């Protein structure tokens, strides 16, 4: 193993017994905040939420798009250079793929995610344990193939934003979406709770009964916010003949504000309200009852529900941190590794 890599992997992290350390950093250039690191035996745990619309780590969110080119881009510095190819990050849109290993995009996006987290810590070489996830009902079938996909190379030498990185990816833990986002706060989930994670491509639904996950009551629907975007675009086109720009739709989905005049404003809101009403219809198919349980909504679709949805405000809660799942992956992975270490 590269000696410099071994030393870099131990920088700022304790070696030996399992540990959870905290350091102070300045993420995204916006003042100081307390940043929690999870590491095990000198290996940094990095959580990565591979969404269909966005990639999320514990501290960053960026579009799930990697445009390949044989030459360096002229304007953008936000690119990965890997094996003599250039991949521009966060421009354009990635089509929905039920199988995330169908192309190299998510591998390249994972390298970008790793680089962002290492840059935050002032590192360019490190030992990494990836903590990732898949939709609830796809974990069993796709866990091993997704793990192999991300572990295709143990040592990876690449560039991101014109800086060189050398990482050793020692292992990868694949976990269920939705549940991971609340794993660290399970003690708060007494009684019956329904969790709903509305991503760009899928909607994951599961029940918790007094903090216990109910495996036979978890589902994955291909009904993410991309379905809402399609409805908005079609409604505006049908009613006005205007092909609405993607940026207008994305801003509304993200913020709940259209910033456009009539009739476009009303058409966008009406299409979104129809989509959210269908979400609640689907939840009722899975026995949702707002008088019997709490509802916890997370993911990129939470703002839509909060803005145009009809819900019981006393029993509906929104997890607004877009990075909550990636943070949950790190905690979930760390606790599992700690148990393994203690049982040896």
Instruction: Delineate the domains of the chain, giving CATH numbers in brackets.
Output: 3-176 (3.30.420.40), 180-318 (3.30.420.40)
What is the DSSP-derived secondary structure letter of residue 210? T
**Strands across the sheet containing 212-221:** 212-221, 203-209, 192-198, 294-298, 316-318
- Tokens of residue 73, six digits: 């881009």
CA neighbor of 62 nearest in space, from 257, 322, 303, 328: 322
Instruction: pLDDT band for 34, please (50, 70, 90 cuts).
Output: low
Contact 268, 246 (CB under 8 A): no
Q: Which of 5-14, 132-141, 173-182, 271-280 has the highest mean pLDDT?
A: 271-280
Question: Tell me, what's the pLDDT at 21?
Answer: 38
Q: What is the pLDDT of residues 109-124, one digit of tens each?
A: 999 999 999 999 999 9
| Confidence (pTM) | 0.87
What is the DSSP-derived secondary structure letter of residue 245? -
Report the C-alpha gap between 202 and 52 in whole angstroms: 8
Phi and psi at 202, nearest 5°, equal: -130, 160
Instruction: pLDDT band for 191, please (50, 70, 90 cuts).
Output: very high
Question: Tell me, what's the pLDDT at 341?
Answer: 84
Give percent of the chain above pLDDT 70. 88
Q: What is the pLDDT of residues 247-305, one digit of tens each?
A: 999 999 999 999 999 999 999 999 999 999 999 999 999 999 999 999 999 999 999 99
> Residue 209 CA to chain centroid, in angstroms?
25
> 98 has which bridge partners?
none
Question: Tell me, what's the pLDDT at 27?
Answer: 41
N-to-C CA span, the chain: 25
pLDDT at residue 162 is higher than 90: yes
pLDDT at residue 226 is higher than 90: yes
Question: Tell me, what's the pLDDT at 112?
Answer: 98
């Amino acid at each position: 193993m590269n000696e410099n890599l071994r030393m870099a992997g131990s920088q700022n992290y304790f070696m030996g017994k399992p540990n959870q350390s905290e350091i102070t950093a300045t993420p995204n250039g916006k003042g100081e905040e307390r940043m929690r690191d999870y590491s095990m035996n000198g290996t940094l745990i990095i959580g990565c939420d591979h969404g269909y619309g966005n990639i999320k780590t514990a501290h960053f969110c960026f579009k799930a798009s990697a445009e390949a080119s044989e030459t360096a881009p002229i304007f953008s510095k936000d690119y990965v250079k890997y094996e003599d190819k250039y991949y521009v990050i966060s421009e354009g849109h990635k089509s929905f793929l039920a199988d995330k290993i169908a192309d190299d995009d998510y591998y390249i996006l994972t390298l970008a995610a790793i680089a962002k987290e290492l840059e935050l810590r002032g590192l360019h070489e490190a030992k990494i344990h990836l903590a990732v996830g898949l939709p609830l009902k796809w974990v069993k079938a796709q866990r091993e193939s997704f793990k192999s996909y991300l572990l295709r190379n143990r040592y990876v030498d690449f560039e991101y934003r014109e800086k060189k990185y050398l990482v050793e990816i020692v292992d990868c833990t694949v976990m269920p979406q939705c549940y991971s986002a609340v794993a660290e706060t399970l003690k708060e989930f007494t009684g019956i709770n329904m969790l709903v994670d509305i991503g760009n491509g899928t909607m994951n639904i599961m029940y918790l009964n007094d903090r216990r996950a109910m495996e036979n009551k978890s589902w994955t629907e291909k009904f993410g916010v991309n379905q809402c975007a399609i409805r908005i675009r079609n409604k505006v086109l049908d009613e006005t003949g205007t092909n609405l720009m993607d940026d207008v739709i994305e801003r509304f989905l993200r913020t709940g504000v259209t910033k456009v005049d009539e009739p476009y404003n009303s058409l966008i809101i009406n299409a979104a309200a129809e989509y959210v009403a269908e979400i609640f219809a689907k939840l009722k198919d899975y026995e949702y009852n707002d008088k019997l349980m709490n509802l916890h909504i997370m993911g990129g679709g939470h703002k839509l529900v909060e803005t145009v949805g009809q819900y019981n405000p006393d029993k509906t809660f929104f997890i607004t941190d877009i990075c909550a799942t990636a943070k949950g992956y790190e905690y979930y992975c760390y606790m599992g590794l700690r148990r393994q270490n203690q049982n040896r």
